[in-house]
Structure 1
């Protein structure tokens, strides 16, 4: 069922892309600092979307690694505290037996 839903979503997305490509065929001029170029509008739109997606993806990647590092530090601290608790419980048990 999930595979069929993904296939249907991909087909709808392909249809939207095809419609945008047909609707945006006129040439536009892009001005850079060192010159200019003429490209179809659809290339500019999808190029901008791809660059935006890459930027968001890289920021998410940095955030993921930051959270993984914090998780490892928290797990290490948890293990240290668990060992300290176990040691304290052993001392309390030994003191209660005396």
Structure 2
């Protein structure tokens, strides 16, 4: 259900942006780093939304890769700790075996 909510919200957002962009079709002056030019406002709006989506996706991807690496590291550490705990348990079991006369070995 949570994934469907995100899809529905994304579709609503896209519809709102598309309506807003279509309403604003007047040419505007755009200042670039190396000069100026005129472009329809619809293209400026759509390009801005597209770049915002790409930047957001890139940041999310970097975060996801970082979390996957951390997860693999923690899984390896957990496995190592389980193996160490298993070995310690075997040693403790050997040390705590009772003698035939009822006394424990030390």
Q: Is TM > 0.5 for Structure 1 vs Structure 2?
A: yes
CA root-mean-square deviation? 2.4
- 1:24 to 2:24 alignment: yes
Larger radius of gyration: 2
TM-score, length of structure 2 as denominator length: 0.74
Question: 2 CA distance for matches of 1:43 and 1:67?
Answer: 36
1:56 corresponds in structure 2 to 56
1:82 corresponds in structure 2 to 82
- 1:69 to 2:60 alignment: no
Question: 1 CA distance for matches of 2:26 and 2:40?
Answer: 5
The gaps in structure 1 that reach 5 residues or longer are none
The gaps in structure 2 that reach 5 residues or longer are 98-104
2:37 corresponds in structure 1 to 37
TM-score, length of structure 1 as denominator length: 0.79
Deviation at 1:31, TM superposition (A): 1.3
- Larger helix proportion, structure 1 or 2? 1
